[in-house]
Structure 1
Amino acid sequence: MKAKILGASAAAVIALAATTLVQPWEGYSPTPYIDMVGVATHCYGDTSRPDKAVYTQQECAEKLNSRLGGYLTGVSKCIKVPLGERQWAAVLSWTYNVGVAAACNSTLVRKINDGQPATVWCPELDRWVYAGGKHVQGLANRRAAERAMCEGRP
C-alpha cells in the first residue's frame, strides 16, 4: 500500500480523511441510532455492532481511525496505480461511506486503474448521491467536498 500512496503515509491519509471529510459529514453520535436506510449506526457513521451503549468522542475517533485503516487496506487492494494523499483521502472517505465492494466494483476505480487522470475519475464521485434509491442532498454535499479534495481544490 505504501508504494501507491505518493508523498504520504497511510496514517497521514487516514488522518486527513477522518478530520476533513468523514467526521464532519458523518457527525458524532455517542449512542447507536438507525440511519436513513435503516442501518444501526454509532460514533462517526460506524455500522459495526456496538460493544457498548455510549461512546466518548475520543473512543469514537479511535474507532474511526481503526476502521478507516481497514477500509484503506481493502480499497488499496483493488487500486493498481499510485494516487496522491488528497486523492487517497477522498477515495477513502467515499469508500467508508459506500463500502469496499461497491468501491472496488465501481466505474470510478476502473477509470483510476485505466490510468485516466483525476480530472476524469474524480467527477465520478458525483454519481454516488443516492441512499435507499433516493437522491440525498447531504450525500451530494459530501461528494462535492470529496471531489474538491480529490481535485486538489480547497
Structure 2
Amino acid sequence: MSARARKALASGAIIGLVAMTATYLTEPWEGTVNKAYWDRLGSVWTICTGETLSVKPGMVKTDAECKEMLLERLENDFHQPLTRCIRGFDKAPLGWQGAMLDEAYNIGVGAACSSTAAKRARAGDFKGSCHAMTWFNRAGGKVILGLKKRREFGDANRMGELELCLEGLR
C-alpha cells in the first residue's frame, strides 16, 4: 500500500478530484514554468503547467495564475469531457478518476476517451483500466522513462498514476 496515494485520496475527499489531481499528479510531473517557452517535442509554445492553449512568445504568468489556469483546464477541458465519454465517471473510485484525469491532460481527452483504459472502465473493470493506462509511455515510438514512471509507480519524489489508481481500488 502506498502512503502517498492514501494521503492524496484523503485530501481528495476534502479538496475534490481536480485539486487533488493537480496537486499530486499533474503539477509534480509537468512542472511549472512562468514564462512562455518553445517546447521542441510538442513543437508548440508552452507556459505554466504544460499549458499550450493560446500561449504566445513573451507571455509571463504568476504562480497563482498558473494554478488557476490548470484547475480551470482540468475541470472544463478534461474532467467534463471524461464525464461525457465514460458513463458514471464521477461515481468511479477517486484514485481511478485522478489517474484518468491526469492521463487525459497529458495525452489528450480524445485519446483518453477512445483508449482501452476507458473501454475497460465502461465495463466496470477498473483494475484492468488502471493497467491499460500504463501503455501510454511512449513518445516518438520509444518508451520514455519519465512517462513510464508517471504512468506506473512514480519515483522518489512523485506519485505515479498506477500507484494512485490501484490504491483507490482497495
Q: Shorter-chain TM-score category? A: 0.7 to 0.9
Q: CA deviation at 1:146?
A: 0.5
Secondary structure in 1 matching 2:34: strand
Letter in 1 for 2:60: V
Q: TM-score, normalised by structure 2?
A: 0.78
Give the one of 47, 52, 72 matched to 2:79. 72
Q: CA deviation at 1:37?
A: 2.9
Q: How does 1:1-20 map to 2 (within 5 A)?
A: 12-20=16-24
Report whether the alignment pairs 1:94 with 2:117.
no
Indicate the larger mover: 138-147 or 14-23: 138-147
Unaligned runs of 5+ in 2: 1-11, 153-159
Is 1:37–1:131's contact at 8 Å kept on the other side of the alignment? no
Structure 2: distance between partners of 1:85 and 1:16: 10
2:3 alignment counterpart: none
Give the one of 121, 130, 136 matched to 2:129. 121
Structure 2: distance between partners of 1:136 and 1:76: 29
1:3 alignment counterpart: none
Letter in 1 for 2:162: R
Secondary structure in 2 matching 1:42: strand
Kindly report the root-mean-square deviation, in angstroms, between the aligned alpha carbons of the 2 structures.
1.8
Report whether the alignment pairs 1:152 with 2:167.
yes
Runs of 4+ displaced beyond 6 Å: none
2:47 alignment counterpart: 42
Letter in 2 for 1:13: L
Unaligned runs of 5+ in 1: 1-7
1:134 alignment counterpart: 142
Secondary structure in 1 matching 2:46: strand
Indicate the larger mover: 124-133 or 143-152: 124-133
Once the two structures are superposed, residues 74-122 of structure 1 have per-residue CA deviations (whole angstroms, 9 ceiling, x without a partner) of: 1111111331222111110000011111011111100110122x22110
Structure 1: distance between partners of 2:75 and 2:127: 26
Question: Identity across aligned pairs (percent)?
Answer: 33
Structure 2: distance between partners of 1:22 and 1:14: 10
Q: TM-score, normalised by structure 1?
A: 0.86
Letter in 1 for 2:103: W
Indicate the larger mover: 88-97 or 30-39: 30-39
Report whether the alignment pairs 1:63 with 2:73.
no
